[in-house]
């Protein structure tokens, strides 16, 4: 019985050692790959149009509604007290929206940007998955997510090739993809 257990443990060790030896690790900076995608120019244009067309219309609508309810709230000659009170409440709601407009506009821009970028991220992530399967990578890490990790291959060029995206050439002084730690000072 001990021999059977020993053989089982030995076989399990060999299988796990073989599996571990075959595991390949890769990394990629997903945001960097997305930044090279040709779709970004169109997305940037769409965001500028959104900021210049849609957001001012929304702001002007809020301002117009505030002014409308303000005029009703202040019109004691033609409006009853109940109507003026209701208009005053509406005016207060629009005033709050106008006062918070900067943060609201920023949230709207971010939401629009995220909705426009999502298909690009999906495309890049699909390409990463396909390259990993084709090249036999067991694990692919987003480089920003790891401070310390196993030795791994930079998959940026492979994914760019899969997507048919031309990467900019690196300056001559940047031959490594690894960042060097800052030099130690006199301490």
Tokens for 69, please give them: 């309810």
- Going by C-beta distance under 8 Å and a sequence separation of 6 or more, which residues neighbour residue 46? 116
Q: Is the pLDDT of residue 10 over 50?
A: no
H-state helical runs in the chain: 2-22, 30-35, 39-49, 55-74, 81-99, 101-135, 156-163
Cα torsion through 9, 14, 16, 18, rounded to 10: 180
Q: Is the pLDDT of residue 32 over 80?
A: yes
For the segment 28-49, the average pLDDT, to the nearest whole number, is 94
Name the residue ranges covered by the structural domains of the chain.
Answer: 25-163
Q: Which residue has the higher pLDDT, 35 or 180?
A: 35
**What is the model's pLDDT at position 170?**
65
Q: At what angle do helices 101-135 and 39-49 cross, to 10 degrees?
A: 170
What pLDDT digit, counting tens, does each position of 91-131 carry?
A: 999 999 999 999 999 999 999 999 999 999 999 999 999 99
What pLDDT band is residue 16 in, cutting at 50, 70 and 90? very low
Which residue in the block uniquely carries the two structure tokens 């075959």? 22
Out of 29-33, 92-96, 145-149, pick the least confident.
145-149
């Amino acid at each position: 019985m001990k021999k059977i257990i020993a053989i089982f443990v030995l076989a399990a060790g060999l299988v796990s050692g073989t599996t571990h030896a075959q595991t390949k690790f890769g990394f990629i900076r997903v945001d960097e790959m997305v930044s090279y995608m040709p779709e970004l120019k169109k997305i940037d244009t769409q965001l500028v149009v959104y900021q210049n067309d849609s957001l001012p219309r929304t702001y002007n609508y809020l301002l117009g509604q505030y002014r409308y309810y303000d005029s009703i709230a202040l019109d004691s000659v033609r409006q009853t007290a109940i109507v003026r009170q209701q208009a005053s409440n509406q005016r207060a709601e629009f005033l709050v929206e106008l006062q918070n407009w900067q943060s609201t506009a920023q949230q709207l821009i971010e939401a629009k940007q995220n909705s426009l970028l999502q298909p690009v991220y999906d495309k890049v992530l699909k390409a990463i998955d396909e390259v990993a399967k084709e090249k036999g990578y067991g694990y692919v890490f987003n480089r920003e997510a790891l401070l310390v990790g196993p030795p791994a291959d930079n998959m940026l060029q492979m994914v760019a090739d899969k997507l048919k995206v031309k990467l900019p050439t690196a300056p001559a002084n940047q031959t490594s993809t690894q960042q060097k730690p800052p030099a130690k000072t006199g301490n």
